[in-house]
Structure 1
Amino acid sequence: MVTKTLSILFVASEVEGLIKSGGLADVAKALPKSLKKLGHQVNIVMPAYQSISGRDAADILLETTLTHWPHTPYQVRALEVDGISVFGIECAEYFDRSEMYAENNQAYSDNGERFAFFSAACLDMLPKLNVQPDIIHANDWHTGLVPYLLKKRYENDAFFSHIRSVLSVHNAVFKGIFHYDEIACLAEFKANYVPEAAVSHSHISMLKAGVLCADKINAVSPTYAKELLTELGSHGMAVDFQSRESDLFGILNGCDYSEWSPEVDSFIPKQFKANRISMVRGKKACKSALQEEVNLPQKEVAMYGMVCRLTNQKGIHYLLPILEQFLKNDVQVVIVGTGDPVLANQLAEIAAINSDKFAFVEAYSNKLAHWVEAASDFFLMPSEFEPCGLNQIYSMAYGTLPIVREVGGLKDSVTDYDSDIDNATGFSFKNPEPVELLLVLMRSLLLYSQNLNEIKRVQLHAMKQNFSWDEAADKYVEMYLS
């Protein structure tokens, strides 16, 4: 039941269904959808990147220049995703590029200026389009300057006087640190003195500006909210988060089951349901198809999947030292991902030597991501840190048992088999050591080898978990109303 209808503007650098590089895009589509379902009025605003399909055919809602210096020209396109209207900020100088943030693993040198402009344009367009939200919900460093500008640039502007802001922190390791000269497109930064954003006499952090200026701050899981109050968990921003502790909310991300459910998944070779016969048949067919796709022997064997960015954050550096040792067992491992070329080369070398047991696909493929979730018996997420994580939630929906390190949202969402057999949904380990990962892999394999019936029971129990966005959306509304 809706107590008060809110108007919410969701500001993000990527939105699934239009353009995506990671989990932020999933949230930027699924949360607005659930908020709309609850009866709230929701719009999204994002950069109108050149590579968004259909961008150039979309209606132009506004052709203008920034009211404030440096009066950069831009236009607003009418985009849409799943019935939610999306304002696309189009500016050829900043967004007509082949990628969103980087090319050849090198970030664009003017990313600070690009997203400072985007933050300014998000607010500049509102009175011109007569869109007056109650809440502006910004996400990560790319939009950290939105709460800052709302508080500083528009503090005496009647149009903006009742608007409140929220900043969601999806990953505090990315702080948006830039030299003042790189933010020179905002008059407020010309004097090289912005205490709310400063991290040194010469550099600012867009994330810090958002954390100190937003009315409320949201971490994407309850455990991550606690971790942000520590030096280690906040990557050096503990003092900033501690100063806002009373305004910090931890809300676990949900799962968009219209995208990630084996019952309706159009990508996978055979759909299946959360009953034993359907699950066993479906997973078997998916495993067979994946084995053929990645050139692994067609056999019934314990399969371990992993789909991720190739970074140390995802725990690849815990896996690499023990992978060949684990491959001595009767197992198959499939890893799909792109990222650090050094890590990719190491995985490719191990795959070449163990081609009958290990397939590494260096690609970003939505189809393969779904196939790996459906085909695998276990899903690897040994993350160094993980604010929320979505793949462990997707995995459970497909009866694939996550193997996770007990951090952030992984700790909040996965119940370890040895800790609580009756309610188990996966396997977990605590210490960030390769040998600890090997031990938990062997625990899972031992259960698979000795008691396949028990594995099937736990897989079915995992499939029956519900991490729907509806519950998370209720908590977001509570935060907005506060």
Structure 2
Amino acid sequence: IASYSIGIDTQVYDPATDPALKVNYTVKDLKSKRLDKRALQRRLGLPEKNVPLLAVISRLTRQKGIDLLLDSLDPFLQRQDVQLVVLGTGEPALEQAWRTYQQAYPQKVVAAIQFDTQLAQQIYAASDLFLMPSAFEPCGLSQMMAMHYGSLPVVHAVGGLRDTVLPYNQYTGQGTGFSFDDYRPEVFRKMLTVAVNLYRHDPQIWRQLQHQAMTCDFGWERSAQQYRTTYLKLMR
């Protein structure tokens, strides 16, 4: 992963101790993560079944790529047996678009147009994929939080997203998520399909990617050391 000087509070965002979760889990016990999926499905009224659970936790704005996401989803939801949970508030037109999606796909889509930190952490824990196709993203924290909970991000490869998400490499097995460069709905949709198919058909590789994502060092100790090193270079 490229060098970066951003971080998250790894004590607050820790699936092993997070009090918001139904069941706590670690990178060595990912089976318990499924119980958090069931708990979230039950809370939100989704069918309780083992399908890929996709998540969006975001300000609902064009900068965050929400319009690209909306333009991408209809054919994808028609063809794929998946569930999608969206949490956030933002531009009224985009909020209404998500409500329309929920009405069109009541067994697949939940649009929680609200701000709820406890629900956000439950979604991180329950989800399999975290969607963050930002048009531009100087930093970005949500993708790191998702990885810390074993939810693999699908991101537009820009800014902080490019720096923090290592794209899956089918030849080496390396990666902590999935990324795309060409900012078009059909390209994003294709990457979503790649990720969902990997979840369904290669659980061993999927667990490997989760392990790699969850063991990334996103704590502020590393970032602080990078700031210190840069400061000392400038002083010299």
What does 1:418-457 align with in structure 2 at a 5 Å threshold? 418=169, 421-457=172-208
Which residue of structure 2 aligns with residue 299 of structure 1? Answer: 49
What pairs up with 1:62-461 in 2 under 5 angstroms? 251-275=4-28, 278-281=29-32, 283-328=33-78, 329-418=80-169, 421-461=172-212
CA-based RMSD of the aligned residues comes to: 1.5
1:381 to 1:331, Cα distance in 2 relative to 1, 3 A: same
Deviates more, 1:412-421 or 1:359-368: 412-421
Query: What secondary structure does 2:188 align onto?
Result: helix
TM superposition shift of 1:285: 1.0
Q: In 1, distance between residues paired with 2:127 and 2:199?
A: 12
Question: 3-state SS of the aligned residue for 2:56?
Answer: strand
User: 2: distance between equivalents of 1:362 and 1:280?
Assistant: 30
* SS of aligned partner of 1:327: helix
Query: What do residues 33-79 of structure 1 show as CA deviations (whole Å, max 9, x unaligned)?
Result: xxxxxxxxxxxxxxxxxxxxxxxxxxxxxxxxxxxxxxxxxxxxxxx
Per-residue deviation, 1:447: 0.9
Structure with greater strand share of residues? 1
| Residue deviations 1:209-244 (CA, integer Å, cap 9, x gap) | xxxxxxxxxxxxx8xxxxxxxxxxxxxxxxxxxxxx
Give me the whole-angstrom Cα distance separating, in 2, the residues matched to 1:469 and 1:419: 31
Task: Give the conservation status (yes or no) of the 8 Å contact 1:251–1:476.
Answer: no
Q: Is the 8 A contact 1:414 1:427 kept in 2?
A: yes
More helix by proportion, 1 or 2?
2
Cα separation, partners in 2 of 1:251 and 1:466, compared to 1, 3 Å: closer
* Deviation of 1:425 (Å): 0.5
Distance 2:228 2:166 in 1: 28
CA distance in structure 2 between the aligned counterparts of 1:280 and 1:427, rounded to whole angstroms: 22
Instruction: Assess if the C-alpha contact under 8 Å between 1:378 and 1:402 holds in 2.
Output: yes
Deviation at 1:431, TM superposition (A): 1.0
For 1:260, give the aligned amino acid: Y
Alignment gaps of 5+ in structure 1: 1-221, 223-249
Q: State the Cα distance separating 1:476 from its structure 2 match.
A: 2.1
Stretches of structure 2 that go unaligned for 5 or more consecutive residues are: none
Q: What one-letter code is carried by the residue in structure 1 that aligns with 2:41? A: Q
Contact 1:386 1:408 in 2 (8 A): yes
Aligned identity (percent) is 36
3-state SS of 1:384 partner? coil
Shift of 1:429: 0.2
SS of 1:436's equivalent in the other structure is helix
Which range moved further: 308-317 or 454-463? Answer: 454-463
Indicate the structure whose relative CO is greater, using CA pairs within 8 Å and at least 6 residues apart.
Answer: 2
Structure index of larger Rg: 1
For structure 1, which segment, 411-420 or 342-351, has the greater mean C-alpha deviation from structure 2 after superposition? 411-420
Return the TM-score normalized by structure 1.
0.47
Give CA deviations for 1:288-326 in whole Å, capped at 9, x if unaligned. 111111111111110101100000111111111121211
Residue correspondences, number: 231
User: Is 1:416–1:428's contact at 8 Å kept on the other side of the alignment?
Assistant: yes
Q: 1:371 to 1:421 in 2, by over 3 A?
A: farther
State yes or no: 1:469 paired with 2:224.
no
Determine helix, strand or coil for the equivalent of 1:313: coil
Distance apart, 1:420 and its partner CA: 6.3
SS of the aligned residue for 1:261 comes to coil
Task: Report the residue type matching 2:40 in the other structure.
Answer: L
Question: So what's the TM-score if we normalise by structure 2?
Answer: 0.93
Residues 413 and 347 (structure 1 numbering): CA distance in 2 closer, same or farther, change over 3 Å? Answer: same
Give the secondary-structure state (helix, strand or coil) at the position aligned to 1:360.
strand
Rounded to whole Å, the distance in 2 between the matches of 1:251 and 1:398 is: 20
The within-5 A match list for 1:9-28 is none
Contact residue 156 and residue 179 of structure 2 kept, 8 A? yes
Letter of the 2:56 partner, please give it. Answer: M
